[in-house]
Structure 1
Amino acid sequence: MRQENRPLVSNGGRGQAVYFFGKNDWRTFEQGAQKEWLVTNGIGGYASGTIINANTRKYHALLTAALNPPGWRMVLLSKLDERFTAGDCTYNLAANEHKSGFSELGFVHLQQVAINPIPTFTYSFGDIFLEKTVFMVHGQNTSVVLYRVLNGAEPGLLTLTPMVNCRGHHFMTSAGEINFTQSKVKGGVMLASREDMPSLLLTCDAGEYIADGKWFNGMFYAAERERGENPYEDLYLPGVFKIPFAAGESKTITVVASTAETGGLDGEELLRAEKNRLKELVTKAGYRDHLARGLVRAADAFIVQRRSTGKKTVIAGYPWFADWGRDAMIALPGLTLVTGRFQEAREILDTFAGHCQKGLLPNAFFDGLADPVFNTVDASLWFVNAVYKYLVYTADLEFVRHNLYDTVKEIIDWYMKGTDYDIVMDQDGLLSAGSPCVQLTWMDAKVDDWVVTPRHGKAVEINALWYNAIRVFNLLSVLLGRDALYADLPDKIKASFQQEFWDESGGYLYDVVTPAGADSSVRPNQLLAASLPYSMLSREQAVLVVRKVWRELYVTYGIRSLSPWDPSYQGVYRGDRLRRDGAYHQGTAWSWLIGPFITAYRRAHNYSADSLTQARLFVAPFRSQLRDHGVGYISEIFDGDEPAFPRGCIAQAWGVAEVLRAYVEDVLEIQPPGRKKIKELEGGKNH
């Protein structure tokens, strides 16, 4: 605790983009709950809530700890509610909904919220100001709540009520289900709960802790009801912190929630350290543009440490996704290369290369499984593309030679001769994969035994990636002084692709080709044939593909997964799991596809001045999207129907990454620094 005489300040520092919100953003409880904040700790843990400090999801908490980074995420501290008594008046700052229908509306005292991405909440009541800042200590399962309070003319008392838990973040708790025991420690309390789970340390550097021990029954989570999930939970109230104030007194108070022994932590020093860390990342990336700088900061949340490998990996999205191979490889260029974080890029590539089996990269690392699952056809092909992007950004041939080339070769060899899940190159050079009961592409929704969008056979984006992978492998072989083993294969693949996938009358690409015929559904997967580094399309074909996607699939914040003119189209993503998964790839718009769309658009139009103007228009709406849903981040998905309401994860890795990559490369026109050197080397080798 530190005495304060200076005024309260809520800003992000010079050059930092801050998202400000005021009373017009929470005129009702429902309106205020639509915008959420997120802070992370670099090992998979996070804290998250709404701008009115009401928890509306089971994932909202002040401390969700990653006990086996980045997995085993446990909700340990759900909330910290405040009341302030001055004279005869008590001001309740808490915002909660109860299953009885009763609501606490403490957000009426909320004056301003600033997020940068660290959230600061400023309350004004009577002649009193209270500022609350929430952040995490990087690399630790430690959350800090920093209060700055300027008391008024009467003596006051601040009461802080922690609501604690001990559960996996996908689950819910009922009263009495957990036997909490508590022991007082200096400045607070140590709470033990489930066997083999770490204790929760709660400390406050001012006032005193008074033990109690009761349950808050029936916390209501509106977002869970909308998702068709159980919306009610009980939370344990171990006691309260009481901090007295003299008339006119100003204090800064640090509250710490942690799974580790922490003593004497200074909240202001910790906050400065975290802000400086984020500032250094922005400085390293080197962009002056505010949108690019904001996305660089957002990208940091997804780059996390994996304990099992000792290297970095990628969290696919918050709050509920783990690290997925496909998502990591698609996101890698935007998260690490565009941001200048080349060491992290090397670690991520190493992490997934080390888990390659029979040419397959892991689809996902799931809690509770000793080994990752491998049911994906495209993660390995995206890996090859990520290797290419790494090379043109860094020109680091030695790392590719010693760490990546053999994995790329392994992927190509296994895909040619055949590997698991019926993945194999056909006699025509095209790649076939899967069966009706297995989902292998990114359109992978499955409810029990129902594969919503099976896409088995020869999928358009898989073969675009396959052609790209062969070209990349040949390039790597030449650059490393080896023989290009498959010099003639790209021409064969291209000829077969043109014959099988191009719809001359419609001017677009079929989505899947099977022995039974072609699936003529208009989907965004064809974009990759026009956006990947190596394309099989003529410029005229690319123009037609982009135009088709723009006309039928583009919405403001993403690209629809299916044309609204298709009878199977589902334009709204909401309801229980069956309804949501039924719409996930059947019309729902995806933010990450904006990246390939912009890249394909600019390339198809030969990077003309007019195409640059249009690309700026495609990017512009994301400046406001960063103020919505997950503030400072880009949402996973949006309704296919206008007004394209944000859905799914509030912060998605490949959404942030692909918007950032396309913005830097195709709008700001900042080219990868190693590209010129690689082109020179390639030219020299070919001569």
Structure 2
Amino acid sequence: MGGSFANDLIIATESGKSREYVYTNKVAAHFSGETRSGPTRSYHGLCVRMQKLLEDWRFQLGGVECKPEETTQVLAYPHRLVRIFEHPPAREHICLLDRWNVLVVDLMAKDMDIGALWPLVDIRPVRLAVKPVYQVAWQPHNNLLLIRGTCGSKTSSGNFVWLGVTCSAPMDFSPQQRYLPTVYVRGQQREVMGRGTPFVPGLLRFRPERGRARFLFIAGRSQREVATTARVVLDSATIQVHRKKERLERLISKASVKSQDLRLNAALAWAQISLDALLMCQEEPGIYAGLPWFANYWGRDTAISLPGATWVTGQFSWAKKILATLARHQDRRVTSRTYGRIPNILEPDIKLYNTADGTLWFIRQAEEYVRYSGDVRTIRNFFPAVKRAIRGELSLRTDQNGLVVHGPAETWMDAGGEDHPVTPRDNRAIEIQALWYAALLSGAQLALLVNQPSLSAEWTRLSKGVHKAIIERFWNPKGQYLYDHINLDGSPDEQIRPNQLLALTAPLYPLLSWDQEKSILDFMLSHLVYSHGVASLAPGDPQFRPRHLGYGRYHFDQAYHNGDVWLWLTGPMVTALVRHGRREMAHILTETLTNHILDRGAVGTLGELFNASPTRENDNEAGTFTQAWSLAEYIRVVYQDYLGVKPNVPKKEVVIEPSVPAQWGDVDFQFVVSRGRVEAQYRFSAGSQTYIFQPKDLIQPLRIRLRIHLPGGVLLTLIHPLRSDRKIEIQVVSHGQGWLVRADGRRVNGHFQKTDFDVGREQKITFKKPPVSRSRI
């Protein structure tokens, strides 16, 4: 990216408008809040795991309080938040350090003599609306205020129940203990956790040095841990803040995309940063599903997020560790009905296996991981888990036709859980069958890589039976689409949902014919796809809910999968649209998310949901304010679909099939394959396309299979060796009624063939109009 890291990616929130923000420490802590107000959720503040400790704080300078709602400017950087106040003239720099459970707040003010700080403490399990009991201890010799919070029987041993406050400047403490009854606006809107009672232990007065004071808010399990951390970090905080900034700079420099669409460049960088913030090490590596309320690992969400979170940007080390976490916690109890499954929910003291799809995604992703990395050794380590997973499905959870059976809430549409499923889809959902087909074929390929050809042949044979059963049981010959699921009584369910989309995009090997895919895509576009995303239910259905929050008319669980637009589904929809030559339509969906990252919702990230029907205030986001699979799919489609990069190291090739939106113009980027990387440039002008590839540090020779879609419904395929440090330049120029192809300046013969679409004459862009709701909901 041009210029400095900070200046390129700074997001300034509009005056008078507040946006949520969140930072993590890459282990188990996160800090969230509002840019221009106090907390609007009881979940806001400093949390470690599922334990909240700090709500907020207030500074007073010269007798005037620094109120966040009165800031003149708020600047969000990838590594910190900056608030600028005019009255009193001051600045706050807020940074949650990597690896430490420490929030650093730097206060800077000219002519500041004596200041005061009120900490707002709230030490409790984050999902419990309780009023903790507090112990307060002031240690003047350590310049340290200690607060311990307990919630009776709800306080577990070994939890984070201590909060410390220290400062670079000398402090005095005046005990003024009180609770502050608080209303949380966003919580009130959700009708959950809308009130709280943060605690003020007292007043800390301080005398800054040269107009500066540094404060640390420290979470710990014990008084001793907090005191030790305070001494260590206070001396090294400047270095730690700089290291966080440098780490994020390295992350972006390795995976940056430089197009002529500057907003796309910035949004993609922010998406990578925000997703990186959810790659955590809560005892072992994993991906937080989303914040504020999913500060834990979900097997399904993790598996879906892995491509965008790791291997498309070359983070193979993270990928390997996260796959290992899932495999390590697989259900190995042979008497269990969930034998062979990876966990749906994984916390330090909780493992639940209540999902049918996470395990199938795991197998599919294991193959894609090795396609990018070539890491067969790791696959050998994972392969027993793959065998166990497939064995579990075959022995416990398949019907007479080979289709997977499951509970009513064991798909991703799981609101309400198994006891009270809001969207029951038992007992054979279409995406589960598509994933089962994908898992069998991916498992077969993995079996070949670990020298088990007989097992590979067996799973390939079984996949053919699954394919036959899917077409026979799910294909609607009249409507030319796939039913959403088969009911318990064997009848096909006629609700129109987006899950058949995954039959087009989840398998690494085609499940459907080209014509079937096109028919499904057209069907979905006419029923479910708005310009802002893919709805979870067609609006004509009696169960349809136009907005996430029902304001007393229905619980939000009723809307999650009955109308809400899920941002992660934009990913597979873009994949399907690009595959079928509808690049500009796909770009409109992507641009909606680009604009959201930069201008709306939480700063620099994507949340869980949009309303199907936007509100009058156009405040459209709902659900979590940052969500892993939403971000991951946004990133994935940039690399795999628009830039078109799909390595297959076991086959010694990289397929590159560009489908770059016109708005992006020329593009520079790099991708990682095996243990090397390739710098790439795409150049476009009237009647000419140029593709330049510069391999770096490749440890084995590969070949590029370049597939270029040309006007007139023509596909050009060109195969070229890819050797380390040898630059390749391929140019395609319009020449009379045909095309002239040059490789490294010499004319070459490519393979030309007719395709089913013409990139020069894209179909008319027609999205379904969102339903209009005249009421508040």
- TM category, shorter: 0.7 to 0.9
CA contact (8 A) 1:226 1:574 kept: yes
SS in 2 for 1:517: coil
Letter of the 1:319 partner, please give it: P
Q: Secondary structure, in 3 states, of the residue corresponding to 1:641? A: coil
Distance in 2 separating the partners of 1:91 and 1:564: 52
Give the superposition deviation at 1:54.
0.9
Output aligned runs, 1:148-547, within 5 Å.
148-151=108-111, 156-174=113-131, 177-194=133-150, 196=157, 197-244=160-207, 250-251=211-212, 253-259=214-220, 260=226, 261=228, 262-263=230-231, 264-288=234-258, 289-307=265-283, 311-321=284-294, 322-357=296-331, 358-366=339-347, 370-401=349-380, 403-418=381-396, 423-424=397-398, 426-434=399-407, 438-446=408-416, 449-483=419-453, 484=456, 485-514=458-487, 515-532=489-506, 533-547=508-522
Q: Aligned letter for 1:413?
A: R
Q: Which 5+ residue runs of structure 2 have no aligned equivalent?
A: 221-225, 259-264, 332-338, 656-699, 704-777
Deviates more, 1:294-303 or 1:194-203: 194-203
CA distance in 1, matches of 2:289, 2:48: 17
1:57: which partner in 2?
41
What SS class does the counterpart of residue 338 from structure 1 fall into?
helix
Query: How far apart, in 2, do the equivalents of 1:53 and 1:265 lie?
Result: 31
Letter of the aligned partner of 1:203 in structure 2? T
Is 1:74–2:51 an aligned residue pair? yes
Q: Deviations over 1:254-304 (max 9, x none)?
A: 434342322133543322111111112222335443333222111111111
Match of 1:102 in 2: none
How far off is 1:245 after superposition?
6.4
Question: Alignment RMSD, CA only?
Answer: 2.6
Deviation of 1:314 after TM superposition, in Å, equals 1.2
Deviations 1:341-391 (A, max 9, x none): 111111111111111122111110257xx4411111111101011102211
Say whether the 8 Å CA contact 1:163–1:235 is kept in structure 2.
yes
Asked if 1 retains the 8 angstrom alpha-carbon contact of 2:481 and 2:520, the reply is yes
Q: Distance in 2 between matches of 1:183 and 1:244?
A: 17
- Farther-moved stretch of structure 1 (648-657 vs 619-628): 619-628
Q: In structure 1, the residue corresponding to 2:197 is in which secondary structure?
A: strand
Distance 2:29 2:610 in 1: 25
- Match of residue 573, structure 2, among 597, 600, 615: 597
1:664 alignment partner AA: Y
8 Å contact 2:372–2:648 — kept in the other structure? yes
The separation in 1 between residues aligned to 2:343 and 2:59, in whole angstroms, is 45
- CA offsets 1:39-67 (integer angstroms, 9 cap, x no match): 00112211110011411111111x2123x
3-state SS, counterpart of residue 450 of structure 1: coil
Asked if residue 549 in structure 1 is aligned to residue 511 in structure 2, the reply is no
SS at match of 1:64: strand
SS in structure 2 of the partner of residue 659 of structure 1: helix
Which amino acid is the alignment partner of residue 161 of structure 1? Answer: W
Distance 2:35 2:654 in 1: 49
Q: Which amino acid aligns with 1:20?
A: A
Partner amino acid, structure 2, of 1:451 = P
Task: State the 1:448 CA deviation.
Answer: 8.7
Distance 1:131 1:266, change over 3 A: farther
The match for 2:104 is 144
Q: Distance in 2 between matches of 1:574 and 1:555?
A: 19
CA distance in structure 2 between the partners assigned to 1:674 and 1:592 by the alignment: 27
SS in 1 for 2:352: coil
* C-alpha distance in 1 between matches for 2:4 and 2:186: 30
Q: 1:306 to 1:564 in 2, by over 3 A?
A: same
Q: Please, what TM-score do these two structures have when normalized by structure 2? A: 0.75
Once residues 141 and 121 of structure 2 are traced to their aligned partners in structure 1, the CA distance between those partners, rounded to angstroms, is: 17
Change (3 A) 1:621 1:679: closer
Greater relative contact order (CA < 8 Å, ≥ 6 in sequence): 1
2:83 matched residue in structure 1: 121
Structure 2 Cα separation of the partners of residues 78 and 644 of structure 1:
25
In 1, the alpha carbon distance for the partners of 2:7 and 2:199 equals: 42
1:633 corresponds in structure 2 to: 605
Q: Please tell me the residue identity of whatever aligns with 1:558.
A: G
2:32 alignment partner, SS class = strand
Distance across 1 between alignment mates of 2:494 and 2:373: 40
**One-letter code aligned to 1:120:** V
Mark the CA change 1:148 to 1:330 in structure 2 (over 3 Å): closer, same or farther. same
- Mapped to 2, the partners of 1:187 and 1:556 lie a distance apart of 56
> Contact 1:636–1:655 at 8 Å: present in 2 too?
yes
Q: Name the SS for the 1:495 alignment partner.
A: helix
Match of 1:18 in 2: 10
In structure 2, distance between residues paired with 1:225 and 1:198: 27
Alpha-carbon contact 1:362-1:375 (below 8 Å) kept: yes
For residue 93 of structure 1, report the CA deviation from its aligned partner: 2.0
- The alignment partner of 1:634 has SS state of coil
Distance in 2 between the 1:478 and 1:109 partners? 61
TM-superposition CA deviations, 1:622-654 (whole Å, max 9, x none): 122113222111011111113571001000011
Q: Output the CA distance in 2 between the equivalents of 1:430 and 1:269.
A: 56
- Classify 1:414/1:112 alpha carbon distance in 2 versus 1 (closer, same or farther; 3 Å): closer
2:707 maps to none
Is the 2:423–2:561 contact (alpha carbons within 8 Å) kept by the matching residues of 1? yes
Query: Deviation at 1:75?
Result: 1.5
1:572 to 547, 567, 576: 547
Query: SS at the partner of 2:345?
Result: coil
8 Å CA contact 1:562–1:587 kept in 2: the answer is: yes
Q: Tell me if structure 2 keeps the 8 A contact 1:511–1:520.
A: yes
For residues 646-665 of structure 1, what are the structure 2 equivalents within 5 Å? Answer: 646-665=621-640
Deviation at 1:602, TM superposition (A): 1.8
Q: Is the 8 A contact 2:533 2:589 kept in 1?
A: no
Give how far 1:156 is off: 4.4
User: Residues 662 and 539 of structure 1: is their aligned pair in 2 closer, same or farther, counting only changes over 3 Å?
Assistant: same
Normalised to the residue count of structure 1, the TM-score between the two structures is 0.84
Q: Which moved more, 1:650-659 or 1:263-272?
A: 263-272
Are the structure 2 counterparts of residues 209 and 664 from structure 1 closer, same or farther at C-alpha, using a change threshold of 3 Å? farther
> Is this contact kept in 2: 1:215–1:234, CA < 8 A?
no
Flag the 1:390–1:574 CA change in 2: closer, same or farther, 3 A.
Answer: same
SS at match of 1:134: strand
**Structure 1 stretches lacking a partner, 5+ long:** 1-10, 67-72, 96-106
Q: Do the aligned partners of 1:50 and 1:56 also contact (CA within 8 Å) in 2?
A: yes
Counterpart selection for 1:587 from 548, 553, 563:
563
- Measured after TM superposition, the shift of residue 232 of structure 1 is 2.4
